[in-house]
A and B are shown apart, each in its own frame.
Chain A
Amino acid sequence: DAKTTQPPSMDCAEGRAANLPCNHSTISGNEYVYWYRQIHSQGPQYIIHGLKNNETNEMASLIITEDRKSSTLILPHATLRDTAVYYCIVRSTTGNQFYFGTGTSLTVIP
């Protein structure tokens, strides 16, 4: 199963865009990239996912490089409530399991 690498922590000013990178260089052609976040003491919350094309929803945008070896999650206007640990996950296509990496702890600063 493809492994992901993320920076352990990042800061972002409130109101600015938060760009969270993820490397998944061993990703297979049919494996999806998912992003989740976990606010302290809560279960992980789904944000967005994609295969090849860039995706956007009401929460965030996902930019996947053409070679699919990396991706960036963009929170366009970060708020204090976006402070959380963000996980980039490559979903297994065999058993559909979600394997979590170490994640990025994002702190939004007032």
Chain B
Amino acid sequence: SAVISQKPSRDICQRGTSLTIQCQVDSQVTMMFWYRQQPGQSLTLIATANQGSEATYESGFVIDKFPISRPNLTFSTLTVSNMSPEDSSIYLCSVVGPRGDTEAFFGQGTRLTVV
């Protein structure tokens, strides 16, 4: 299994500002993903964080709004840029181990409130 630490666990931000969320894994992992969970909703995949190259974004998500970095196999960041109240959500980091058929592990999430 993989242990995932996300920072911060929660934050309250002013509209128009940006927040960077960190995801640290206790072991090297092949794949890392970022999800958004809006209040009362299911999880929506934002992007796949690729080590050493640009992230792959899902439909409806763009790099200018959600820039992602992944400098190595254990760490990634997601930035929520130019925030508005609609960005208030839980943002979760997820990883899949080196074996392709294993389950995904999730962090506890970052609860973001934009005021």
Contact = CB atoms under 8 A, between A and B. Distances in A.
Contact of A101 (B42, B94, B108): B42
B111 to A, nearest CB: 8
A48 to B, nearest CB: 9
Given A32-B101, A95-B48, A98-B33, A43 B42 contact: no
A44 interface: yes
A42 B106 CA distance: 9
Contact of A95 (B56, B104, B108): B56
Interface in B35-93: 35, 42-45, 48, 56, 92
A34 B94 CA distance: 15
What secondary structure prevails in chain B residues at the interface with A? strand
B108 A46 contact: no
A98 B104 contact: yes
A49 interface: yes
A34 B107 CA distance: 18
Nearest to A95: B48
A61 to B, nearest CB: 16
A22 to B, nearest CB: 14
Nearest to B41: A102
B19 interface: no
B42 A100 contact: yes
18 contacts: A32-B101, A34-B104, A43-B4, A43-B92, A43-B106, A43-B107, A44-B106, A46-B103, A49-B103, A85-B42, A95-B48, A95-B56, A97-B33, A97-B45, A98-B104, A100-B35, A102-B42, A103-B42
Given A97-B48, A100-B35, A100-B43, 9 more contacts: A42-B109, A43-B4, A43-B107, A45-B106, A97-B33, A98-B94, A99-B45, A100-B45, A103-B42
